[in-house]
Amino acid sequence: MEIPTYDDVISAHARIAPHVHRTPILTSSFLDSLTGASLFFKCENFQKAGAFKARGASNAVFGLDEEKAAVGVATHSSGNHALSLSYAAGKRGIPVTVVMPKTAPEPKKAAVQGYGGRIIECEPSTSSREAVFAEVVAETGAEFVHPYNDPRVIAGQATCAKEIVEELGPLDAVIVPIGGGGMISGCCLTLSAIAPQTKIYAAEPKNANDAHRSLKAGHIIADDAPQTVADGLKVPLKELTWHFVSGHVEDILLSTEDEIVEAMRLIWQRMKIVVEPSSAVPLAAILKNKHNFAGKRVGVILTGGNVDLVKLPWMAA
Amino acid sequence: MEIPTYDDVISAHARIAPHVHRTPILTSSFLDSLTGASLFFKCENFQKAGAFKARGASNAVFGLDEEKAAVGVATHSSGNHALSLSYAAGKRGIPVTVVMPKTAPEPKKAAVQGYGGRIIECEPSTSSREAVFAEVVAETGAEFVHPYNDPRVIAGQATCAKEIVEELGPLDAVIVPIGGGGMISGCCLTLSAIAPQTKIYAAEPKNANDAHRSLKAGHIIADDAPQTVADGLKVPLKELTWHFVSGHVEDILLSTEDEIVEAMRLIWQRMKIVVEPSSAVPLAAILKNKHNFAGKRVGVILTGGNVDLVKLPWMAA
């Protein structure tokens, strides 16, 4: 297992700079007064392809040598990594195939195709996804860019925390949604190197609490097809992300579906920005665990903004 | 009739700076490629109280002498000016009464009350609104801050175009939604003084096209209760805004309800920001009149972001 280093993050940042946004950091006096903390929202919902995953995907794609690049890349993804890999491959002008669950939101499928990606559908479970994907790789010979269990991807995601520290100095805490663990691993990598005093919290849906149970148990626990509104967070940890999560994460805070939807709505209503449900899980956790954050300077990563605008979760009832 | 000058704008900018945001200007490579123009979106949806109207209201409220301030302020408004005046009065700690149509969106009513404003309801027509308001003023003696036909308010709104020019230099064109004409009058005031080469376009719903008909006719035409999804744009021009509009506006471009809703959805989907229907009318006009804007640097004022998130217009069907 190759563990990325902070030198890899510095290289990644230079490599991806022409292809991704240095996203803004927003604040909200209303949410500060509601939580008692000073919250700094890193807006990866404004990122290219609508999510932080453009960072890792761009680092992987633009780091390939010419020969490998010509054959193309492939991945499986619940959505945003598929978009991001398609975006990065399109930018470099190389072929890309993505295996996506049938149930992925329509706008994500359309956006993959808009960037020139080829979609192969699978069932909405980890097992089906991995089986279908093995066939795709055997057939195309494409370079596999895993959505998170890949050192190139983690080094790319780690540039997000690097920008936060560059802009704000060391914070008291950072809180990040956890699914497969790519973004939080990137935060662990960067913060342990340049801001080791910052506490790193993960936020996870109670309905997809495999990372929480993994941290308690001391080994990876994977669920096959958890159900949560935070559809970016259904996938399990893998060795590489487990390495970072088990080594650096202070705690994994859980939220119910209702708490996530309410936090999402608060962000839309008060900050006037579009975030997907996964992005709202950290605010839900802060609202539920104010004692951990009150009086602190807290970085909150809003991981993405790719939402099906005709299916908003507070309208379900 | 007192006409505000650019010196009033400079004073207003200094007066309101502690109370309002200097809002960011965003770009979208997708919308640029869709329109063929270089669009610069001034994000007044991120403004205090969720709309540009915080500028004019703050200028009026913080410009009052102590004696008048102590009696308080009052207004009638289709929504955002009500919020903004309540916000500004709350910040100064003075009483505020607002007459609002019964049909105003619930979040706007709740926000007025959240800022400490007192609401008196009227029927959703200009005539009812003005009649009920006359009673309120007679009863309270409060200082009337008209939503747009007020030199203090127009000087405040004019600070928005001032920030655009300071940040981007003179643009080829600026396009602004037109309802009562407060924001576009502010743009006329500022641009005629510091960037006279910039063409000023207004964007209006076809269903509430009184300003368009006024410009053609050469005098103010007012409709009593037009129906449009762009609920901030139902009110008619008045003398002071007519002065600016008739003197400086290049053209008033019309859009259908469907075009407005589609433009609003594009902004949400692609820019990941929450804007209200009124804010989308300029983009609808640009998409429909590409020949006027292609190859040009165009400022687009996103006037507000106060939306009832359970009633999104593309879900009506």
Q: Which domains does chain A have, with CATH numbers?
A: 6-51+150-315 (3.40.50.1100), 54-144 (3.40.50.1100)
Give Rg (Cα) of chain A: 18
What pLDDT sits at residue A245?
Answer: 98
Comparing CB atoms, the residue among A50, A310, A315 nearest residue B272 is A50
Give Rg (Cα) of chain B: 18
Q: Look over chain A and give the mean of its residue pLDDT values, rounded to a whole number.
A: 95
Establish, for the pair of chains A and B, how many residue pairs have beta carbons separated by less than 8 Å: 45
What pLDDT sits at residue B316?
Answer: 65
What pLDDT sits at residue B46?
Answer: 97
Say if residues A184 and A238 touch (Cβ distance below 8 Å): no
* CB contact (8 A) between residue A274 and residue B275: no
Comparing CB atoms, the residue among B265, B272, B312 nearest residue A273 is B272
What pLDDT sits at residue A120?
Answer: 95
DSSP string, chain A: -PPP-HHHHHHHHHHHTTTS----EE--HHHHHHHSSEEEEEEGGGSGGGBTHHHHHHHHHHTS-HHHHHH-EEEE-SSHHHHHHHHHHHHHT--EEEEEETTS-HHHHHHHHHTT-EEEEE-SSHHHHHHHHHHHHHHH-PEE--SSSSHHHHHHHHHHHHHHHHHH-S-SEEEEE-SSSHHHHHHHHHHHHH-TTSEEEEEEEGGGTHHHHHHHHTS----SS---S-GGG-SPP-HHHHHHHHHHEEEEEEE-HHHHHHHHHHIIIII-B---HHHHHHHHHHHH-HHHHTTSEEEEEE-B----TT--GGG--
Is A139 exposed, middle or buried (CB count within 10 Å of its CB: 0-12, 13-18, 19+)?
A: exposed
C-alpha span between B280 and B41 (Å, rounded): 11
Identify all chain A residues contacting B315, using CB atoms and an 8 Å cutoff.
310, 315
Say if residues B94 and B61 touch (Cβ distance below 8 Å): yes
Identify all chain B residues contacting A33, using CB atoms and an 8 Å cutoff.
none
| Nearest C-alpha neighbor of A64 from the set A15, A4, A116, A128 | A15
What are the tens digits of pLDDT across the range A235-248?
Answer: 899 999 999 999 99
Q: Which long-range contacts (CB under 8 A, 24 or more apart) does B60-66 make?
A: B60/B85, B60/B88, B60/B145, B60/B150, B60/B152, B60/B153, B60/B156, B61/B85, B61/B88, B61/B89, B61/B91, B61/B92, B61/B94, B61/B145, B62/B15, B62/B16, B62/B19, B62/B88, B62/B92, B63/B12, B63/B15, B63/B152, B64/B94, B64/B143
**Rounded to the nearest 5°, which phi and psi values hold at B158?**
-65, -15
Nearest chain A CA: its distance from B221 CA (Å): 34
What pLDDT sits at residue B126?
Answer: 77
**pLDDT at residue A102 tops 80:** yes
Q: Mean per-residue pLDDT for A132-149?
A: 95
What pLDDT sits at residue A311?
Answer: 85
B264 → chain A, closest CA residue? A309
Cross-strand partners of A75: A98
Identify all chain B residues contacting A309, using CB atoms and an 8 Å cutoff.
265, 268-269, 312, 314
Comparing CB atoms, the residue among B46, B312, B314 nearest residue A272 is B46
* CB contact (8 A) between residue A309 and residue B309: no
What pLDDT sits at residue B166?
Answer: 98
* CB contact (8 A) between residue A310 and residue B305: no
Q: Mean per-residue pLDDT for A282-309?
A: 97
Mean pLDDT in order along chain B per 10 residues (317 residues): 96 98 95 98 97 98 97 90 96 96 83 93 87 93 96 98 97 97 98 98 98 97 90 93 98 98 97 97 98 98 93 80
Identify all chain B residues contacting A312, using CB atoms and an 8 Å cutoff.
309, 312
Tell me the one-letter amino acid at A151: P
B273 → chain A, closest CA residue? A273
| Nearest C-alpha neighbor of A300 from the set A171, A205, A192, A196 | A171
Identify all chain A residues contacting B274, using CB atoms and an 8 Å cutoff.
268-269, 272-274
Identify all chain A residues contacting B275, using CB atoms and an 8 Å cutoff.
272
Residues of A with CB under 8 A from a CB of B: 24, 26, 45-46, 50, 107, 265, 268-269, 271-275, 305, 309-310, 312, 314-315
Cross-strand partners of A255: A205
